[in-house]
Structure 1
Amino acid sequence: MSVGDRYGPTVYERVQATPEFGDLRRRRRRFVFPMSALFLVWYLAYVLLASYAPEFMAIRVAGNVTLGLVIGLLQFVTTFVITTAYVRFADRKLDPAAAAIRQEIES
């Protein structure tokens, strides 16, 4: 038996049941899931190219710098770009909604 069963829903259970909270979760999911899938596909492509196309990855771009090295370094760049995009998205779309929910709980 949970506390909610015995005494009624907790404040957290009531908040989770609100449309505002559901909207906040949907907004986050609409950003996080596609971006995660995109990054995983990009990373998997790198791993597969490294495993099955070593001649392609060994193409020299400049001096001793190979295409594989450039693509590998782009993995890091992609991580920073996605992180920056998420922070901007959260600042514009998630944080104001979360602050409104928090204000409602605290008042």
Structure 2
Amino acid sequence: MIDPAAPSRGDTPWIGDDPRFALLRARYRRFVFPVTAAFLLWFLAYVLCSAYARGFMAAEVVGHINVALVFGLLQFASTFGIALAYGRFAARRLDPLAEELRRTAAARAGDEHEPTGSLA
């Protein structure tokens, strides 16, 4: 736990130099950037089709359900799918490394600061 009475060290400036932190950022970026780009392209395709391909979007798939409705519902499904995939990815590839960095930061903070007692 962070001690608010402890002198500031600039929010652990050493962590930016730790190779584990660089690996954590790289893993995060390798997942988030491509998935974000893919989702934005998918959303842009939906918007552009809604604006310029009205005949296609109005085509009925089953009964009175048209392509536009299916695409709109797929937007929700893809959003939830991405959230689920990110949660699983983070639990497997990011969280263990982040926890290791947290333990290192806590150990370093304990080595560098004397206990100041209770805050109560």
Asked if TM exceeds 0.5, the reply is yes
| Partner residue in 2 for 1:66 | 66
1:3-82 map, 5 Å:
10=10, 12-82=12-82
Identical pairs, percent:
48
* CA displacement, residues 47-104 of structure 1 (integer Å, 9 cap, x when unaligned): 0100110000000111111011001100000000000000000000000000000000
The 2-side partners of 1:99 and 1:10 are apart by 20
**Gaps spanning 5+ residues in structure 2: where?**
1-8, 108-120
Distance across 1 between alignment mates of 2:38 and 2:81: 13
1:85 aligns with 2:85: yes
Counterpart contact for 1:58–1:66, Cα < 8 Å: yes
Distance 2:27 2:14 in 1: 20
More helix by share: 1
Q: What is the TM-score when the length of structure 1 is the normalising length?
A: 0.89
> What residue is the counterpart of 1:3 in the other structure?
none
Counterpart AA for 2:69 = L
Task: Provide, for residues 1-40 of structure 1, a one-character-per-residue CA deviation record: whole Å limited to 9, x for no partner.
Answer: xxxxxxxx64521111211101100100000000000000
C-alpha separation between the residues in 1 aligned to 2:36 and 2:12? 28
Rg (Cα) greater in structure:
2
Matched position secondary structure for 1:61: strand
Q: Distance in 1 between matches of 2:37 and 2:24?
A: 20
Contact 1:11 1:105 (C-alpha < 8 Å) held by counterparts: no
